[in-house]
Amino acid sequence: MADLQVRLDLFNNDWYRPGRNIFIRLVWYFINLFFFRSGWLIFSFPKRILLQLFGASVGKGVVIKPHVNIKYPWKLHIGNYVWIGEEVWIDNLDQVQIGDHVCISQGALLICGNHNYKHPDFGLITKPIIIETGAWIGAMCRIGPGSRIQKNSVFSLGAVFTGTSQPGMIYQGNPAQPIRKRNT
């Protein structure tokens, strides 16, 4: 066992605080399951209300499609006129801030947590995600912990990104690289 790089028996996540007690998290789990992750509620208005009841900041004109998964609404800020597509997963172990006029397309994943592969205890690491005004996260994109998507950036189909984007650039690939300036 001395040559093991990861020792999961050493893992300890006691320091992490999700932000609400176990009862609230459990209630949110079922609300998320029945009203967000399911496909039967197609209207955005009740979803916006539910998010606000659980502590999210939600602007006007927000569209939330069916089959969206949101980990913790109390760690979520959504600006005005944001579109969140089918099967988006906001795995916000940390704060996620989404600016105005942002589109997050189908199947995109915003993930605020990861594990420390450099340490045997595989400790949890969390960092916020900020998506600025006018950005477009394309279908099936993966945005990693600590990312800052600057104003008017575009991430094309399936891009994988962690870091700070350049404003107004189009990104493509894995890892996502800027390929050209966005024509506005």
- Structure confidence by residue, pLDDT tens digits, 109-151: 999 999 998 888 989 999 999 999 999 999 999 999 999 999 9
- pTM score: 0.94
Predicted local confidence at residue 79, as pLDDT: 98
Q: Tokens 């009862």 identify what position?
A: 23
Residue type present at position 152: N
pLDDT of res. 82: 98
What pLDDT is recorded for position 183?
A: 83
Residue 54 has pLDDT above 60, yes or no: yes
Residues 6+ apart with CB under 8 A from 56: 70, 73, 74, 76, 77, 78
Residue 135's CB is within 10 A of a number of other CB atoms, namely 25
Any domain includes 169? yes
167 part of a folded domain: yes
Residues 154/171, Cβ–Cβ less than 8 Å: yes
Is residue 6 domain-resident?
A: no
**Neighbour count for residue 61 (Cβ, 10 Å):** 14
For the chain, give the mean pLDDT.
95
Residue 4 in any domain: the answer is no
Per-residue pLDDT band for 4 (boundaries 50, 70, 90) equals low
User: How many structural domains comprise the chain?
Assistant: 1
Radius of gyration of the chain (CA): 17
Q: How far apart are CA 51 and CA 96, in angstroms?
A: 13
**Residue 124 belongs to domain spanning:** 18-181
* Residue 5 reports pLDDT greater than 90: no
**Residue 165, CB-side half-sphere exposure with 13 Å CA sphere:** 36
Q: How many CB atoms lie within 10 A of CB 91?
A: 17
Which of these ranges, 2-11, 104-113, 126-135, has the smallest mean pLDDT? 2-11
Mean pLDDT to the nearest integer, 30-40: 94
Query: Which pLDDT band, with edges at 50, 70 and 90, does 2 fall under?
Result: low
pLDDT for position 65: 97
Residue 1 predicted with pLDDT over 60? no
Q: Give domain status of residue 157, yes or no.
A: yes
Residues 38-49 have a mean pLDDT of 93
Question: Is the pLDDT score of 51 beyond 60?
Answer: yes
What pLDDT shows up at residue 117?
Answer: 87
CATH number of the domain to which 46 belongs: 2.160.10.10
pLDDT above 60: residue 63: yes
Neighbours of 3 (CB within 10 A): 4
Task: Tell me, yes or no, whether 11 lies in a domain.
Answer: no
Strands 177-181 and 169-172: antiparallel
State what percent of residues in the chain have pLDDT above 70: 97
Residue carrying the six token digits 């005005």: 80
Does some domain include residue 139? Answer: yes
Answer yes or no: is 3 within a domain. Answer: no
